Each structure stands twice: as C-alpha cells, then as structure tokens.
Structure 1
Amino acid sequence: MARRNANGEGSIYKRKDGRWEGAAYLGTISGNVKRLRVYGKTRKEVHEKLTASLAQARQGMLLPDRTWKLAEYLDYWLDRAVNAERRPNTHKRYEVVVRLHLKPTLGRKSLQQLSVRMVEDFYKKLLAECASRNTVYQAKKVLSAALTHAMRQELLLRNVARLAEMPQYKPKEAQYWTAQETITFLSAAQSDPLYHALVLTVLYGLRRGEVLGIRWREIDFEKGILSIRQQIQRIDGKLQEVELKTDSSERDEPLLATARDVLMKQRSKQEAARLAAGADWLGAGTKDDLVFTTRTGNPIEPRNLYRSFHRIIEKHGIRRIKLHELRHTNGTAQKDLNVPASDTQAIFGHSSVATTRIYQHVSLSNKRNALEKVENYLFSQQFAEGEAGSRQRLPSGRQIYRRMVSPTSGGPTGIRTQDTWLKRPIRNTVNDHITSVDQVMQVRRRIWKLGCVAVKFAVKDHDLEVAT
C-alpha cells in the first residue's frame, strides 16, 4: 500500500484522461491560501514539479493571486510603475519596445515559466530579424526592468533577463570638439536666432531641454546664480514643462561673465520681440516667464535647437557631432583642465561620478603630453646630443649590472615575443654582456692614460719653473 503524504506535502493522483495531477495548498501574496495544481505525463514528473513549488514556498515565494501572462504583466507594469515613477518620454520609449518586440515573441508566455533559455532565444531571434544590437540591448533593458518589478512584487525569485546572455553590445563612442573647433562653431553661430541658447549649452554642458526650460525668475543676477529646475519636452504632441531627469539634475550653477552677458542681450532681444508682437504675445503675464521663446512668446521646440545646430555646422564645414555631444565637449574640456570629476558631476547634475566619466574623454593633446613625458623619461638617458649630431652613449656599469641580473632582456631584432634567457642561448647573452664590459673598460683605460699624460706634463712644467 502506497504511503500517504504528510500534511503540507500535497497529493498526487492519476486523472481519468491518463495524465497525472499534483495539488498542494500554498500561501498567496494577499495573505490567503490557494490550491496549486501541477500536471504531467508521469507521476515522477508531477512529483518533481510539486516538490519544486513546495521548496519555493519554504524559501518565502508566495503564489500570485492570479496567473500572469507576460503581456498582461508588461501592461500592468507600464501603467502602475513606469507611468507613476518615470518621465513621460521614458514611458513612451518603453511602451514602443514592449509593443514592437516583447509582446509579439514572449507575450503569451507565463510570467513564472520564463526561463533563461527562452530569453536567450528571443535575443537571437530579434537579432536575426535584422534588428540592431542597440535594439536588442533596449529590449533586454526594458524586460529586465519589468522582471525586477515582478521580483519586488514577490512574483518571481530571479530575473532571467539579467541571467540570459545577449549578443555582445558595444555602444558607439561619443564624439567631441576640440577647443579650436568649439571656438570656430561659436563664431559661426553668432548670427543664428538661437545663438544665446547655444552659448549656454556649450558653457555649462546643458541638455537641450534644460537650456530651453530656464526661467527669468530662476536667475539671480545679484548673487550670481543660475538655477536649473525644469526642462521643455514634447509629450503627446504638446510642448510641456516637465521635471528634470533626476533629483540631482536640479542644481545651481555660478552665473559666469559670459553667461551674464548673453542673458542680458537675450532679455533685450525678448523685450523687442514682445513689443513687436503686441497683443499676439502669448508669454505675457504667465508664471513660466521662459528666457528663450519664439517671436510670440511660446516655448521653443527642442528639435529647432537641434536643427539650428546642424544647419550651422553644415554651412561652415565644421566637423559633424550631435547636439548632445556638446555635453561631452564640455566634460572633456574640464578633464583637460584638471577639474576634479566630483566637481564636473555637480555641474552636470549627475547622480554618480561613473556617469560623469562617460562624458570625459582623453584628448589627443593630452595623450601626446603623456607619451612625451614617457619618451623623455625612458629614452633621454640613451642618447646625448653632440655638436655634429647625435651619438650613442655607452651604457654605465649600473645599467650593465641591471641587464645581467634582469630575468628578461631585449632580444635580437625581429623577434615578436619578449625574449627571456630561456628563449635564446645563454652564450649569446654572456657574450653581449662581456662586449659591453669591454667597451666600458676601454673608455676608462683611455681616460686613465690621458690623465697620466696630463699629470706628467704638469709636473715637468712645474720643475722648469722652479729651475728658472
């Protein structure tokens, strides 16, 4: 007679249709008790499934109050989590990824049944359908964020999107301008209607939405403070003033002399536009009081700043970079001027120094300076400048000693690997060292002989002077 399962172990029995079924009562997230049912072709298969579910329950994994398909949970996550915690444009980007990539392939899968293999196959399929590696990366990012939320809701024990390997993704390295290229651009941009906004973008490394969101009431000319508190974005077809990307993005910048000058000119320009517009001026008396507006007082479309920027560089033949890469240009300039990364972090409004370092690149001039220091340090002792040219300086006794005791030494011309004593005949090494010693000794013997001759002539001269 088969042993009866103890309380809490569940029960397994054969159904009329020939399949096996297992059942057990487990706790749910809401605090209730729910009967879990598992099915299989054999008793062993059902027993393994039931045992795994009971083990998860003992680890604290509770049953969901409902069975989630991935598509259903993604909609729930977008509506409840992303919509409440992220910016509108972020919600829009995530929704596009969910609708175009995640739902068609993985949407019908059970949330709890997602596996690493399923997700890896999804990545490969997406890449095979001519999607870029960046698209696959964005899909992984969104799926991982949704599954992390499910873990916080105690619906999952692990995030299979993080565990799954995806095709290697290397983002394109951002470009930046040199100081001379930046000066050339600013000189060429002086006649552009958005010149003042472009100057502040270059000077402070502002995002385009941030510079267009500056308000007059957030500028303290007496204390010399420029406050960044909001940004302009187009959401659902309308230009809106929205919060900044993160809490650390809200920051106070020093009002530099260049910024003060362009802001005063911008104020005069805006007043002239206000008078010209008359009753058509839409910005009059509003609480926003934006610094940069259209001829009728409306907020400026961020894409127009982008268009002005590229129109200038194409017209004047300046090397093409993205508007956002002016932020990289500013960060690299600060690095070249030895500004601490923590200070740049505060200026850019980043939440971590790691993010700031993405915007800082090593310029070619800095590379040249560093390598010239290495060149002077390593090679200045090997060559001495003579009156008629350069001649090789003979190695000193200390240098010869270091070569003899060093475990490795430079090998014959043409070898590719580092030449250790074990990779060439010891006889050659010893002969090379003996030759070097002989050269040094010959020089020292010559110096000694010349010294003796000089002393001898000096003694004779002294004897002649005494005799006379």
Structure 2
Amino acid sequence: MTRATVHEKLTELKAKDARGIPTADKNWRLGAYLDYWLTEVVKPNLRLSTHERYESGVRLYLKPGLGANTLTHLSVPIVQTFMNDRLAAGMSVRSVQILREILRSALTRAHEEELVSRNVARFVKLKQRERDDIQPWTVEEAKQFLEAARADPLYPMFVLLVLYGLRRGEVLGLRWQDVDFEGSVIRIRQQVQRVGGALQQGPVKTKAGRRDLPMLDFACEVLKAREPRAGGLAFTTRTGQPIEPRNFVRSFQRICERHGIRRITVHQVRHTAATLLKDLGVPARDVQLILGHSDIAITQQIYQHDNMAGRREALGRVEAALLVSTHKDTQALQPGYLVNAVDSSGSCHNGCQGHGFVDRITSILSGRGSRTRTYDTWFWSSNSSSVTSRITEVDTFFRVRRRQALLGVVAVGVAVNVNEQDDAELVA
C-alpha cells in the first residue's frame, strides 16, 4: 500500500468521523457476513422456507462466486459481472433475480449496521423476466376435472382448490378447528410445507393470507362427508400424518392424464379461480381478499387472465355503444323516423305500434332479438351478409329521408313567405 493510498484512506476516515459515522471494527468478507446474516437475522425473523431458500442461494452461488471480497471492496462492476456470468452459464433470469434479491437484502442489513456506505446490489441491472403465458382452465374444464376426481380420496381438497383458489399448502394445512359449520365460515390460518427435508406446519404466507371465507354449500357437503378429528388436520394420510405435497401434485396430474383433461399445474388452478371470478364480474378488490393477496396489482396483473371470448364481448359492447350513440344522434334530428316502427316498404308511420329502431338494434346486437325476427321483416329482408352491412344500409336510408325532410321544410317555408307577400299586396 502506497503512502498516497494510506493518506487517502485516513482522510476518508476523518471525514466520516466528522459526520458522526462510526468506523467498522472489523473488515468483513462477504462470505463470513452472509453466514452471520443467515444465522442472526434471517433465521430468527423470517419463515423457515425463506431461510432455506436464502441459505441455498448463499451456499451454492454467492459464497463461491463473491464470498472472498470484503464488504468495503465489493463494487457494482464486480456484482454485475458475477450476475452476467450466471446468465451466460444458463441460469434462468428468475433464478439470477433471486440471487440479486438475496444479496441486496444482506447488504441492506450491512448498510443499517454501518458496515458499508451503500448497497451496490441495488445498482445491478438485469433484464426483465418474461412471464410464461398461462392459460387457466375454462369453466367447462374445471367442471370436467371435478367430475373426474369425484372417486379420488383427495376429492374434497380438489373442490376447495377450485372453489376458493387456495394455495396448495393452505389446503394441506386446513384444520378442523378452522372449519366453522355453525357460522358457515372457513378460516385460513396455517399451511403445510416441506422445509429442510421435513413436513412443517406453520402460519400462512402473509398477513393478507389470514382470511375468512364463506362456506359454500358445495364445500360444506364435501367437508361433512369426512370424519372430523378434534384439533387435527382436516386432510391426512391413513395414519393421521400430513399429506405429502408432492403426492398431492401427483394425484392431480394423474387424474388429468387419465381423463384427457388439459394439463395445468396445481398452482395454476389458483389462476383459474381468479380468472373465473373476473369473468363473473366480481370486483378485483373482492377477488384479492378471497385469494389472500397483499396487493391488488398481484391479483390483476399476475393471476387474472383474459381470453378471446372476453375480448370479443368487451369490443362488442363498444361497438353496440357506438352504434346506439350514432342512431340516437339521428333520432334527435328526425324523431319520427327512429321512434316508430318501419314497415316492409321502408315507410315510417307515426303512432304505429312496436319497438323503436334503436331498441331493436340493441336487442339484435346483444342476442335478445333472435326470437323476434319475424317482427322486423324490413330489417331482415335484405340480402346483406351481416348485421353491420344491414345497419349501414339503414343508416343510408335515413340520411336520404332526412335530406328529403329538410328540403320539404325549406320548400314549405318558401311557399309560406310567397303567400304572405301575395296577401299583403291584396290588402294594400
């Protein structure tokens, strides 16, 4: 170390001391600090599954790749190069993003402990993850699955999975004490997960995950068909042990394959429930509470999906609104032509019985006019190939009639003025 370098570091330390920033009494290497962080910060305060995921990332990747660097010498270029190398080695974008999240969380703690002046992981750039295009089940596919699973011992669990969009661990962790038949409520409080090689029962994922759901008749029926065990899990093996999550998944996939049902993952059934609720017009806030999401954006952007039928219906409403708006403008100019029915010759008769033109167009576009075609003989008498082309013809017809009417008004006005002048001359 040169004299100039020593002088630079001394000046830096004096400047920090003047600002009241303490100097670390130990120059930590990143590997040693990550071990301390996992043991003293993560394990006592976070879920076991989170600690297991963080420990795996530290042990397999962060310590071997970055652990020899001291905290004070860890820089943005060093971390950026490490992350880029992981991507080049074939690691998925999401896996590398998780490594950055782990390192960022650890360095945030180091910054709070005043061991580093900034969190370099925050400045590392990674490309955005492209989410898989999930195609959840339709109503028909969900019904087909439940019918196929009726004879399976896990059928009640599958019913709750589809009805409420529960997480796999929440279904496995449901206790009889959380099932209130009298109050008709199902309380979601805990989950079962495999952590550290053993099945663990613990609280649900987030505070938002603690939720009360109304007990639907279908759910009540399948739950009452089981034999309750006081204080125990609602769903267990024959020996009373928690059901292995992987066995639950295997049963789900076996039913799909055996009955030719389009295969999705167990977690994507949760997407199916969210999308079905959306398609039924349930407000997004209610869907968020049912699924137990902490942020409504998660519900709308990740779990709810659209389809061509939904897009077609939405755009059809726009089309209908525009058509109705157009003909309402016409009605304001020529109310006699639009309010009254039109006969087979295309003539309009004031006071005739029947629906208004706009009402009939609306009913036809929405499908309500399928039983009343004989009433609208003139509308359906054309050889037009589509409703849209027929509407264009009708619009043209009324434009011509409107021009004729305006010309008639002008002619009448001119004639009245001429007559008034003739009368005045006679009086004079």
Evaluate the alpha carbon distance shift between residue 387 and residue 261 of structure 1 in structure 2; reply closer, same or farther with a 3 A threshold: same
Separation in structure 2 between the aligned mates of residue 444 and residue 255 of structure 1, nearest angstrom: 64
> What's 1:316 paired with?
259
1:115 maps to 2:113: no
1:291 maps to 2:234: yes
Summarize the alignment of residues 47-196 of structure 1 with structure 2, pairs less than 5 Å apart. 47-196=7-156
Residue 111 of structure 1 aligns to a residue whose secondary structure is coil
Evaluate the alpha carbon distance shift between residue 446 and residue 231 of structure 1 in structure 2; reply closer, same or farther with a 3 A threshold: closer
Evaluate the alpha carbon distance shift between residue 46 and residue 294 of structure 1 in structure 2; reply closer, same or farther with a 3 A threshold: same
Evaluate the alpha carbon distance shift between residue 95 and residue 444 of structure 1 in structure 2; reply closer, same or farther with a 3 A threshold: same
Paired letter, 1:326? V
> What's 2:316 paired with?
372
Higher strand proportion, which one? 1
> What's 2:272 paired with?
329
Q: Which consecutive residues of structure 2, in runs of 5 or more, have no partner in the other structure?
A: 328-360, 362-378, 416-428
Residue 72 of structure 2 aligns to a residue whose secondary structure is helix
Offset at residue 58 of structure 1 (A): 4.4
Contact 1:336 1:363 in 2 (8 A): no
Deviation by residue 1:346-367 (Cα, 9 ceiling, x = unmatched): 2222222223322222233321
Separation in structure 2 between the aligned mates of residue 213 and residue 205 of structure 1, nearest angstrom: 14
Using the TM superposition, name which of 345-354 and 92-101 deviates more: 345-354
Separation in structure 1 between the aligned mates of residue 179 and residue 45 of structure 2, nearest angstrom: 29
Evaluate the alpha carbon distance shift between residue 394 and residue 189 of structure 1 in structure 2; reply closer, same or farther with a 3 A threshold: closer
1:238 maps to 2:198: yes
Evaluate the alpha carbon distance shift between residue 443 and residue 211 of structure 1 in structure 2; reply closer, same or farther with a 3 A threshold: closer
Separation in structure 2 between the aligned mates of residue 56 and residue 152 of structure 1, nearest angstrom: 15
Residue 252 of structure 1 aligns to a residue whose secondary structure is strand
Offset at residue 178 of structure 1 (A): 1.2
Q: TM-score of the superposition, structure 2-length normalised?
A: 0.75
Summarize the alignment of residues 386-397 of structure 1 with structure 2, pairs less than 5 Å apart. 387-389=382-384, 390=389, 392=392
Aligned counterpart for 1:354 among listed residues 292, 297, 306? 297
Q: Percent identity?
A: 46
Separation in structure 1 between the aligned mates of residue 131 and residue 11 of structure 2, nearest angstrom: 44
Evaluate the alpha carbon distance shift between residue 228 and residue 115 of structure 1 in structure 2; reply closer, same or farther with a 3 A threshold: same
Contact 2:52 2:196 in 1 (8 A): no
Q: TM-score of the superposition, structure 1-length normalised?
A: 0.69
> What's 1:253 paired with?
213
Paired letter, 1:356? T
Using the TM superposition, name which of 101-110 and 61-70 deviates more: 61-70
Offset at residue 446 of structure 1 (A): 11
Deviation by residue 1:157-210 (Cα, 9 ceiling, x = unmatched): 322111111233223244411111111111111111101111011111111111
Offset at residue 311 of structure 1 (A): 0.7
Using the TM superposition, name which of 333-342 and 202-211 deviates more: 333-342
Contact 1:249 1:350 in 2 (8 A): yes
CA RMSD of aligned residues (A): 3.1
Offset at residue 376 of structure 1 (A): 3.1
Separation in structure 1 between the aligned mates of residue 190 and residue 53 of structure 2, nearest angstrom: 20
Deviation by residue 1:103-147 (Cα, 9 ceiling, x = unmatched): 111110111221111111111111111212122111111111111
> What's 1:210 paired with?
170
Evaluate the alpha carbon distance shift between residue 109 and residue 259 of structure 1 in structure 2; reply closer, same or farther with a 3 A threshold: same
Separation in structure 2 between the aligned mates of residue 256 and residue 65 of structure 1, nearest angstrom: 61
Separation in structure 2 between the aligned mates of residue 370 and residue 179 of structure 1, nearest angstrom: 19
Aligned counterpart for 2:2 among listed residues 20, 23, 47? 20
Separation in structure 2 between the aligned mates of residue 311 and residue 127 of structure 1, nearest angstrom: 35
Evaluate the alpha carbon distance shift between residue 394 and residue 138 of structure 1 in structure 2; reply closer, same or farther with a 3 A threshold: same
Separation in structure 2 between the aligned mates of residue 356 and residue 441 of structure 1, nearest angstrom: 52
Residue 247 of structure 1 aligns to a residue whose secondary structure is coil
Higher helix proportion, which one? 2
Separation in structure 2 between the aligned mates of residue 371 and residue 59 of structure 1, nearest angstrom: 62
Residue 330 of structure 1 aligns to a residue whose secondary structure is helix
Paired letter, 2:2? W
Deviation by residue 1:206-253 (Cα, 9 ceiling, x = unmatched): 111111111112211111111112111222322221122122322221
Paired letter, 2:30? L
Separation in structure 1 between the aligned mates of residue 200 and residue 53 of structure 2, nearest angstrom: 17
Separation in structure 1 between the aligned mates of residue 10 and residue 381 of structure 2, nearest angstrom: 88
Offset at residue 102 of structure 1 (A): 0.8
> What's 1:39 paired with?
none
> What's 1:9 paired with?
none
Deviation by residue 1:265-309 (Cα, 9 ceiling, x = unmatched): 122xx7xxxxxxxxxxxxx7xx74111111121111111111111
Separation in structure 1 between the aligned mates of residue 130 and residue 22 of structure 2, nearest angstrom: 39
Offset at residue 395 of structure 1 (A): 8.9
Separation in structure 2 between the aligned mates of residue 354 and residue 442 of structure 1, nearest angstrom: 52
Residue 339 of structure 1 aligns to a residue whose secondary structure is coil
Evaluate the alpha carbon distance shift between residue 386 and residue 231 of structure 1 in structure 2; reply closer, same or farther with a 3 A threshold: same
Separation in structure 2 between the aligned mates of residue 288 and residue 303 of structure 1, nearest angstrom: 24
Evaluate the alpha carbon distance shift between residue 223 and residue 194 of structure 1 in structure 2; reply closer, same or farther with a 3 A threshold: same
Deviation by residue 1:405-427 (Cα, 9 ceiling, x = unmatched): xxxxxxxxxxxxxxxxxxxxxxx
Paired letter, 1:387? S
